[in-house]
Amino acid sequence: MLRIGLTGGIAAGKSAVSRQLGDLGAVVVDADLLARRAVEPGSPGLDEVVAAFGPEVLGADGSLDRPALGRLVFADGSARERLNAIIHPRVRAEASRLIGEAPDDAVVVEDIPLLVETGQASRFHLVVVVDAPDEVRIERMIGQRGMERGDAERRIAAQAPRPVRLREADAVLLNDRGLGDLHAATAALWDGRIVPFRDNLAAGRPAARRLGRAPAGLAGTSGLGRRLQAKLTAALPAGAVVEPEGGTGEAPDTVSRGTSAYDDAVSAVVRVGVPSAVGPGTASMAVAGAGFPRTGSSREQSGDGICAVHRAADPALDVTVLVRTLPDPA
């Protein structure tokens, strides 16, 4: 199963990408939709929201008055945290149920507006960020949603800034023009990267070596070594450690607002050190599950301690992961 985390700031175009990925065959788990279901009339979630914020967040028909609640939480960080504490556990529980029902060879897209804010990036094979400059998003909210400028600016300020969101991206879909361009970029990402990644992962094989042409969906990425370390660390058993080494092409961890000063590094070699008590086989299985299948070069214990060689199933990357046994402490 290929797990994709899809995110983007308000009015960036994430919903359009989510719908298109669903049409292309992905299993889409929409956090916004699940959040709405969590506070339907008569639900325990709605009862908790009313208890936390008062009956003024209810409409005349007893349903949640979302604009009224929005005015409260987007102007008050502590109120937003209280709301998240009610909604997020319910959303995650229902998302887990839906993912558990998906086929083993599915592409599962979790559409999560606050993916970065809630620290979930490292649990996905790919994080796809739909991006647009802040001023473009403000104009969309004013023109398409009828918001006042101040309200639109507060909505943007309540989410992670663009540089923070972009630093977690494995792929960026820039939506600063029209929907036609966004749809074309999404289709190219699906055909050129997502489908081959899914197929490689399902077959337990690394991607073919890159031939010098960057596949779709790389523009805007930065900090490959940092992102690899986070993904592998999240997947590995306790006691195993990630040791990045040369070729990561590390870039600054921030991206300037409104610029294209990105680093598109695609190559890295990473060593995973495993205590003998953990066992390299356990770590090797975890590395494969994180998107780096074992290769034909894998071997038993060698002079440098390497017992397994893994490579990325993602066709956009040229990444090798070496699993080695750590020396026993003296």
Q: What is the pLDDT of residues 298-315, one digit of tens each?
A: 555 555 677 899 999 999
Residue 46, pLDDT > 90, answer yes
pLDDT band at 247 (very low <50, low <70, confident <90, very high): very low
* Sequence-distant (≥ 6) Cβ neighbours of residue 56 within 8 angstroms: 65, 68
| Mean pLDDT in residue range 49-59 | 93
Alpha carbons 197 and 205: distance in angstroms, whole number: 10
Residue 32 sits in the same domain as residue 166:
yes
> Average pLDDT of 91-115?
92
pLDDT in the model for residue 209: 74
Q: Does the pLDDT of residue 329 top 90, yes or no?
A: no
Q: Are residues 198 and 260 in the same domain?
A: no
Q: Can you give the residue range of the structural domain that contains 302?
A: 224-325
Is the pLDDT at 262 greater than 50? The verdict is no
Is the domain of 101 the same as that of 16?
Answer: yes
Residue 209 domain-assigned?
A: no
Q: Which pLDDT does position 302 carry in this prediction?
A: 53
Same domain, yes or no, for 255 and 144?
A: no
- Of 203, 233, 257, the residue that ends a domain is 203
The dihedral through the CA atoms of 222, 223, 228, 233 has a sign that is negative
Rounded to two decimals, the pTM is 0.82
Residue percentage of the chain with pLDDT more than 70: 87
- Is residue 136 in some structural domain? yes
Task: Say if 38 falls within a structural domain.
Answer: yes
CATH code of the domain containing 253: 3.30.460
**Range 71-97 average pLDDT:** 89
Strand 2-8 vs strand 107-111: parallel, antiparallel, or unpaired?
parallel
Note whether 188 and 254 are same-domain residues: no
126-131, strands of its sheet edge to edge: 27-30, 107-111, 2-8, 126-131, 171-174
Considering the domain architecture, whether residues 166 and 41 belong to the same structural domain is answered as: yes
Residue 269 one-letter amino acid: V
Residue with tokens 């598109």: 264
258 band by pLDDT with thresholds 50, 70 and 90 = very low
Question: Is residue 233 domain-shared with residue 189, that is, in the same domain?
Answer: no
Region 264-268: what's the mean pLDDT? 77
Total number of domains in the chain: 2
CA distances from 10 to 93, 286, 316 (A): 24, 34, 27
pLDDT for 15: 94
pLDDT mean over 64-86: 89
Q: Return the structure tokens found at 66.
A: 């979302």
Mean pLDDT of the chain: 86
Q: Are residue 142 and residue 248 in the same domain, yes or no?
A: no
What is the pLDDT at residue 298? Answer: 52
* 252 pLDDT more than 60: no
144: in domain: yes
Residue 273 lies in a domain: yes
In sequence order, the 6+-apart residues with CB closer than 8 A to the CB of 81 are none
How is residue 300 written in tokens? 């038993």
Q: Are 189 and 173 in contact (CB under 8 A)?
A: yes
For residue 261, pLDDT beyond 80: no
What CATH number has the domain bearing residue 85?
3.40.50.300
As a whole number of angstroms, the distance between CA 214 and CA 53 comes to: 50
Q: How confident is the model at residue 296 (pLDDT cuts 50, 70, 90)?
A: confident
199 and 277 share one domain: no
- pLDDT at site 71: 85
Residues 196 and 320 in one domain: no
Tell me whether residue 208 is in a domain.
no
pLDDT score at 245 = 56
User: Would you place residue 105 in the very low, low, confident or very high pLDDT band (cuts 50, 70, 90)?
Assistant: very high
Q: Residue 152 in contact with residue 141, Cβ under 8 Å? A: yes
- 272 neighbors 283 (Cβ within 8 angstroms): yes
- Residue 330 in domain: no
- Would you state the pLDDT for residue 4? 98
SS3 89: helix
Q: Of 203, 232, 251, which residue is a domain's last?
A: 203
Q: Is residue 281 part of a domain?
A: yes
Last residue of a domain, one of 203, 236, 268: 203
Let me know whether 44 and 156 are in one domain.
Answer: yes
Give 147-173 pLDDT, tens digit per residue.
999 999 999 998 999 999 999 999 999
> Do 164 and 241 lie in a common domain?
no
Give the residue-averaged pLDDT of 276-281. 85
